Amino acid sequence: MKKIQLIVSLLFVSVVNAQSLTDGQLRGSIEIDAQTYRHDSLIGAPAVPEKMGLNSFAQLDYTNGKISAGIRYEAYENALQGYDARYNGQGIANKYLRFADSTIDVTVGDFYEQFGSGLILRSYWQYQLGVDNSIDGVRLKYNICKGISVKGVIGHQRYYWGEGAGIVRGVDGEINLNELIPHWDTIKTKIILGGSFVSNYQVPDNTTYNVPGNVGATAGRISINNGGFSFYSEYAYKINDPSVVNNYIYKPGQAFLLRTGYSTKGFSFSVSGESMDNMSFKSDRTATKNDLDINYLPTLPRDETYQLAQIYPYATQPNGEMGVDAELRYTLPKESVLGGKYGTELDAEVSAINALDTTNLNDLNTNRLGYSVNYFGVNSEIYFNNTTIELKHKFSPKFRMILQYVDEAYNKDVIQQEVGYQIVHCNIGIFDGYYRIASSNTLHFEFQELLTKQDQGNWAFGMAEMNFGSNWFAGLLDEYNYGNPIANQQIHYYTITGGYTKNALRVSLGYGKTRSGILCVGGVCRQIPASDGFSLSLTESF
Amino acid sequence: MRQYRIAIALLFCGAYLCAYSQDMKGNKVPAVAIKTMNGILSNTSKFSNNGKPMVIDFWATWCVPCIMELNAIADKYDYWQKETGVKMIIVSVDTVHNTTTVSSFVKNKGWRYDVYLDPDKSFQEAMKVMDTPCTFVVDGSGKIVWMHNSYNEGDEDKVFEELKKITAK
């Protein structure tokens, strides 16, 4: 507590003197999200005793020359439904002091960091998901010479209003060959190499298993670019890390990523592949869900933008998965027969993610390695198959549209950890239109339909949103589960919303019903319970 | 504890009013190390355009209004440059694993913007960007003179108006 008060005091002194320090800059941001809750047994909205929830934060950063400091105050009174109740309360969630010049960058306090793709270290804050695994400790970044940089971190991760049990230590180095080697800065091929090592120490206090106190992970990566060609690959290895997530098996973890592609104006093609095996890496072996993740396992499919396509989003499976993804983009030129006056954009993406090809070793009473993996085999168990085709066309300066078709197979049992759904097959059609009525009035409208014979059956979605001038907006949307096999579950989830936006200020007020489901960002997800009530959102920065 | 919370609340209110009264748009672009698409580190405080204005736009490949805005500006970019000498700097907040996607996306679009990657969102946080798209107009001395969140059809014309105001001075 003394440390916090000291930093806050330092910041306060800086702020008070801000006007007298010509180079000092003060920046801040505020967000408030509130929701009222009405019990609605039909949609499954629970009775919430406090009747409303509120998530909010205010961030303040002060920079003067090479020194910067900041704090973030968070308040959850109580946390919105779907966020972990352990956030309930308020206080300073993040504070730091930093010195940075062109050679050295030192941070003391809470910070976010990522090595490579994050396969062995990524601390980040995703407010929408309720994820904050910041590291409270010390970070040092050092540019040894042009083309070579290293960074090191040490500290404990945030765990709601406390800190995780483990001490996270990590180093990362990166070499940009084109900057390092004389005369290579002019050659067309750009090559970057990187490597990192991360270790977590937690007292080995498990009474059942002989667990390692130190768990180490290492990763190497390479990036090559030449004109329109790009290539990125990363491999990570983690030693045995028995934990609740992997049922205390002693098998080492591995992850492999590969992305390559070619692009030129009007055309691009990319292919990605990945294999993840037992790569959950947390700073507490008893942690579950999104708690205390040291690393981040990226997902191949893109984040879905449209409402009905978000009903079945993919979540990365840390215990194991193997997948490929290919995407083709092509622009039919302007003033051509098919492209029309303004050109037409086509986009096709195919993703296939299956379980790893494993063999159960039946050794849970002996070595506890759990299973072996054939990395060159393909397991027939589908996790996620998706084909998306999108067409964008502008008809005139007033009217443009996006058409999208999605064919999806979704293993709901695995991805949402449910029982009895197995593979849900669905087809989704989307029409997204923008019509400019006047110079600053635009009507945005969407029609979507999801067809499936499984789970909750067919859905339809309609939305109309109007912008009045440059500051005001109002919208009405309805998500209708018309194909639900249970007659009284054929429900309209309607929402009416309106708001005001100017510069960095955005205020919106809504009323309506929200269906239950999961929200995913980059393969990391949280549950969204059904709700019925008013919502208020305010964001501002300065 | 109650006094402590009140002090924090007052601190934020005071800081906000202090900053607001000084004109929030007078700040310089903060110094953050971000990378180009070729992986070269660059300090954002060194963004410059020989005394002419710049537009800094935060976007992502999955953000539909972001793409609409950047496409709309691309159609008018030649005229904007001729009239104001502006340089467009676009900062992708896609996660690291999408780096190759950003590169191919931009090349496919044929955008002639300076492209930077901010996968850990350090520049986004330093600029207090709450959502994408978020557009900043920066004058020739490196000071932020205008900013706007979100995008509706025609909003790019407001950006151009701000650019003309700067260059008319």
Inside any domain, residue A386: no
Q: State the Cα–Cα distance between residues A133 and A139, nearest whole angstrom.
A: 15
Q: State the Cα–Cα distance between residues A118 and A170, nearest whole angstrom.
A: 12
Residue A171 three-state SS: strand
pLDDT tens digits, one per residue of A394-415: 999 899 999 999 999 999 999 9
Which of B22, B42, B108 is the best residue to mutate to test the A interface, defined by the most A CB atoms within 10 Å of its own CB? B108
CA angle (A391 as vertex; A303, B96 as ends), nearest 5:
30
Q: Cβ–Cβ contacts within 10 Å for residue B64, how many?
A: 17
* Domain span including residue B164: 26-168
Output the DSSP codes for A129-158.
TTEE--EEEEEEEEEEETTEEEEEEEEEEE
Inside any domain, residue B140: yes
CATH number at residue B155: 3.40.30.10
Give the tokens for residue A166.
Answer: 């483990």
Quote the mean pLDDT of chain B: 84
Is residue A162 within 8 Å of residue A188, measured between CB atoms? no
Query: Is the Cβ of A387 closer than 8 Å to some Cβ of chain B?
Result: no
Measured CA to CA in angstroms, residue A4 lies from A10, A63, A109, A124, B138 at distances of: 10, 18, 9, 21, 35
Q: How far does the CA of residue A86 sit from the closest CA of chain B (Å)?
A: 19
Is residue A504 within 8 Å of residue B149, measured between CB atoms? yes
Closest Cα in chain A to B97:
A117
Residue A19 and residue B22: Cβ atoms within 8 Å?
yes
| Per-residue model confidence (pLDDT) at position A227 | 87
- Percent of chain B at pLDDT > 90 equals 46
| Per-residue model confidence (pLDDT) at position B13 | 54
Q: Taking residues B106-133, what's their average pLDDT?
A: 90
Q: State the Cα–Cα distance between residues A102 and A324, nearest whole angstrom.
A: 40
Q: Select from A63, A436, A541 the Cβ nearest to the Cβ of B153.
A: A436
Q: How far does the CA of residue A134 sit from the closest CA of chain B (Å)?
A: 12
Q: Select from B16, B126, B148 the Cβ nearest to the Cβ of A542.
A: B16
Q: State the Cα–Cα distance between residues A492 and B93, nearest whole angstrom.
A: 35
How many residues are there in chain B? 169
Q: Given CA atoms B70, B73, B78, B82 in this order, what sign does their dihedral have?
A: negative
Quote the mean pLDDT of chain A: 93
| Per-residue model confidence (pLDDT) at position B96 | 65
Inside any domain, residue B16: no
Burial bucket for residue A182 (CB in 10 Å: 0-12, 13-18, 19+):
exposed
- Per the structure, how many domains does chain B have? 1
Residue B130 and residue A541: Cβ atoms within 8 Å?
yes
Q: Taking residues B82-106, what's their average pLDDT?
A: 86
Inside any domain, residue A200: no
Strand partners, A91: A74
pLDDT tens digits, one per residue of A196-241: 999 999 999 999 999 999 999 999 999 999 988 999 999 999 999 9
Inside any domain, residue B39: yes
Residue A266 and residue B108: Cβ atoms within 8 Å?
yes
Residue A182 three-state SS: coil
Exposure string over A455-489, b if 16+ CB within 10 A, otherwise e: bbbbbbbbbebbbeebeebebebbbbbebbeeeee
Could you tell me whether strands A148-159 and A167-176 are parallel, antiparallel, or unpaired per DSSP bridges? antiparallel
* Domain span including residue A2: 1-24+50-97
Name the range with the highest mean pLDDT among A4-8, B9-13, B46-50, B93-97.
B46-50
Place of tokens 């916090």: A4
| Per-residue model confidence (pLDDT) at position A16 | 46
Q: How far does the CA of residue B67 sit from the closest CA of chain A (Å)?
A: 11
Q: What is the largest CA-CA distance in chain A?
A: 73
Inside any domain, residue A456: no
Contact list, A59 vs chain B (CB under 8 Å): 125, 128
- Predicted TM-score (pTM) of the model is 0.90
Strand partners, B100: none
Q: How far does the CA of residue A210 sit from the closest CA of chain B (Å)?
A: 35
Inside any domain, residue A85: yes
Alpha carbon A375 to its chain centroid, in Å, reads: 27
Residue B99 and residue A31: Cβ atoms within 8 Å?
no
| Per-residue model confidence (pLDDT) at position B92 | 94
Contact list, B130 vs chain A (CB under 8 Å): 29, 31, 504, 506, 539-541
Assess whether the previous peptide bond of B133 is cis (omega < 30° from 0).
yes
Place of tokens 């961030």: A59
Q: State the Cα–Cα distance between residues A234 and B133, nearest whole angstrom.
A: 30
Position with higher pLDDT, B19 vs A129:
A129
Exposure string over B101-117, b if 16+ CB within 10 A, otherwise e: bbbbbbbbbebebbbbb
Contact list, B120 vs chain A (CB under 8 Å): 112-114, 124
Residue A318 three-state SS: coil
Could you tell me whether strands A423-438 and A441-451 are parallel, antiparallel, or unpaired per DSSP bridges? antiparallel
Inside any domain, residue B75: yes
Alpha carbon B63 to its chain centroid, in Å, reads: 15
| Per-residue model confidence (pLDDT) at position B97 | 61
N- to C-terminal Cα separation, chain A: 28
Q: State the Cα–Cα distance between residues A214 and A211, nearest whole angstrom.
A: 9
CA angle (A133 as vertex; A132, A135 as ends), nearest 5:
125
Inside any domain, residue B1: no
For chain A, 542 residues long, the average pLDDT of each consecutive 10-residue run is: 51 49 78 97 95 96 91 96 96 96 94 94 94 97 94 98 97 95 92 97 95 98 92 96 97 95 92 96 96 94 91 93 95 88 94 96 94 91 97 92 97 92 95 90 95 97 92 96 96 97 92 94 90 96 86
Q: State the Cα–Cα distance between residues B85 and B87, nearest whole angstrom.
A: 7
Residue A160 three-state SS: coil
Contact list, B129 vs chain A (CB under 8 Å): 541
Question: Going by C-beta distance under 8 Å and a sequence separation of 6 or more, which residues neighbour residue B59?
Answer: B66, B67, B69, B70, B90, B91, B92, B93, B132, B133
Residue A124 and residue B64: Cβ atoms within 8 Å?
no
Residue B101 and residue A270: Cβ atoms within 8 Å?
yes
What confidence tier does B2 reach under pLDDT thresholds 50, 70, 90? Answer: low
Residues 322-381 on A with a CB inside 8 Å of B are: 327, 329, 331
| Per-residue model confidence (pLDDT) at position A275 | 96
Give the tokens for residue B158.
Answer: 């407001």
Q: Given CA atoms B95, B98, B103, B107 in this order, what sign does their dihedral have?
A: negative
- Per the structure, how many domains does chain A have? 1
Residue A113 and residue B68: Cβ atoms within 8 Å?
no
Residue B5 and residue A439: Cβ atoms within 8 Å?
no
Residues 445-464 on A with a CB inside 8 Å of B are: none
Inside any domain, residue A539: no
Inside any domain, residue A103: no
Inside any domain, residue A11: yes
Inside any domain, residue A92: yes
Q: Select from B95, B110, B128 the Cβ nearest to the Cβ of A266.
A: B110
Residue B147 and residue A503: Cβ atoms within 8 Å?
yes
Could you tell me whether strands A131-132 and A125-126 are parallel, antiparallel, or unpaired per DSSP bridges? antiparallel
Q: How far does the CA of residue A322 sit from the closest CA of chain B (Å)?
A: 16
Q: How far does the CA of residue A268 sit from the closest CA of chain B (Å)?
A: 6
Contact list, B28 vs chain A (CB under 8 Å): 25
